[in-house]
Structure 1
Amino acid sequence: MRANGKLIQWDDAKGYGFIAPDAGGAKLFVHIKAFGLRARRPFVGERLSYQPGEDAQGKPRALKVQSLEPKPAAPAGPTALERERSRREARRGLSLWLVPGFAALVLICQLAFELPRALWGAYLAMSLATFIVYAGDKRAARLNQWRVAEGTLHGLALACGWPGALLAQHILRHKSNKPEFLRLFWLTVIVNVLGFVLIFTPLSGQLLVLFNV
C-alpha cells in the first residue's frame, strides 16, 4: 500500500532526506534513487506519495517515491512583442555588415580608380562626429535637456556620417526603434552611397553615354 507524507529534511549534496508520514509516526529515510527520473530536485515541503519499505538492515525507508505537487507550468512562448524585438535585433545586427562592406567597396575603388585620399578621412571624421552627436542627444533625452533636431542627424548621415550613425544606433540603442526616423535614415544612406558610386566610379560616365544615346 502507498502512503503520503511531506519531505521535512533534504540534503541535496548527499542525495537523501526524511519524510514525515501523514499518518504520523517516525520519519522515514528517503534516498534520491527512490525518486526515479524527474525533472526537478526534491525540496523541503514537497508533498510525496511513497511505498513504505525497508533497507538491507531492516530499517524503514520510503521507496518508489512520486511527487504530489502540481507540475511546473511550461515556460510561455515569446510574445508577439518579444518576437518583433528579436527580429528587429537580428535586422540591426545584419545592417552593421554594411559598414565593413562599404569600406571594402571604397578600398576596391581606391585601388581601381585612385580615389582622393581625403575621402577616407572625410568618412572617418564625419562618422566620429555623428556618433558623438548621437551620444550627446541620447544623454540629453535621458536628462530631459535640449535635443538635437532629427534633421541635423539626417544631415550628418547624408554628409558621409551614416556609418557612425549606424554604429550609434546599434551600440547606444538611440533612434533605433522609430520607424519614421529609420526610413529617412536609410534614405540618406542610399543617397550617399549612390552619390559615391556616381562621383568616384566610371558609372557616371556610362550613364551619360547611355542618356546621350
Structure 2
Amino acid sequence: MRKAGELIQWTNKGGYGFVRDDAGRDYYVHISKVTPGARPRIGDMVSFETGTGRKGRPSAINVIITATSPTPSPTLRDVRQGSGNVSRFKIGLRTAAATVLTLLILWAIAGDRAPAWLGLLYAAMGAGSALLYRFDKLYALTGKYRVSETNLHVVDLCFGIIGGLAAQEVYRHKTVKPRFVATTWAIALAHTLGLAALAFGGLGGLLPGA
C-alpha cells in the first residue's frame, strides 16, 4: 500500500534524505528509489511504498514526487521551530541528559571532587560540538559537503557531549539514524557514569587539582 508524505531532509551531494508520512514516521530514501529524472527538494510532497533498507531501517521505495516544494529550502530558524509531528518525549530526552550531565559537573566542582577547569573544558568542547552540528545541519539543507559523523562523535566523546545533545535537539538533527543515535547515547552514558562516580567520590583524587 502506498503512503503519502513530505521530504523533510535531502542532501544533494549524497543523494539521500528522509520522508515523513502523515503519521509522523520518518523513512530513509535514496535517489535510486526516486522516479528517474526527478530532482528532489525539501518540502516536496511524495507518494511511496515502504521497505527495509540494508541496515534494517524503514525506507521509502518507488518514490514519486506528487507536488514540488512551493517555498525555498528551510533555514535553521525553521528547523528550530520544529514540527508538530516530532515526539516531544523523544527529543526531550536529550535535554534531560544534557541537564543531568551539567548538574553532575557542578556537583563535583562544588564538592571539591573536581577542579573548575573540568567545567570549563566541558563548556568549551560543548560549544565546539554545537557549532559542528549547526554547520552540518546547514550543509545538509543546502546540499554542501557534510561534517563527518566520526568527527561529530569524536568531539562529543572529548567532552563535547553536552553541546552535542543540545544541538541535536535545537536543530532536530541526527536524531533518526539508528547507529548514530546509539553511539551518541553510548557516549552520553559513559560521561554520565564517569561524572557520577566523580561527583559522589568514586574517583576522588584522580584528577589533578581535585
TM-score bin (small chain)? 0.5 to 0.7
Give the structure-2-normalised TM-score: 0.53
Q: Is residue 81 from structure 1 mapped to residue 23 from structure 2 by the alignment?
A: yes
Q: Which has the higher helix share?
A: 1
Between 1 and 2, higher relative CO (CA 8 Å, sep ≥ 6) is seen in 2
Q: Per-residue deviation at 1:86?
A: 5.1
Q: Which moved more, 1:98-107 or 1:191-200?
A: 191-200
Moved >6 Å (runs of 4+): none
Partner residue, 1:202: 201
Q: Which moved more, 1:108-117 or 1:158-167?
A: 108-117
Q: Distance in 2 between matches of 1:149 and 1:88?
A: 26
The alignment yields a C-alpha RMSD, in angstroms, of 2.5
Q: Distance in 1 between matches of 2:140 and 2:162?
A: 22
1:161-200 equivalent positions in 2, closer than 5 A: 161-198=160-197
**Overall identity of the aligned pairs, in %:** 28
Q: Is residue 136 from structure 1 mapped to residue 110 from structure 2 by the alignment?
A: no
8 Å contact kept, 2:94–2:169: no
Q: Gaps spanning 5+ residues in structure 1: where?
A: 1-78, 206-213
Q: Per-residue deviation at 1:158?
A: 0.9
Q: Per-residue deviation at 1:198?
A: 4.3
The size of the alignment, in residue pairs, is: 127
Q: Gaps spanning 5+ residues in structure 2: where?
A: 1-20, 27-83, 205-210
Amino acid of the structure 1 residue aligned with 2:186: L
SS in 1 for 2:138: helix
* 1:133-184 residue CA offsets vs partner (Å, 9 max, x unmatched): 1111111112222111111111111111111111111111111222221011
Quick one: structure 1 residues 154 and 178, their matched pair in 2 at CA, closer, same or farther if it must change by over 3 Å? Answer: same
Give the structure-1-normalised TM-score: 0.52
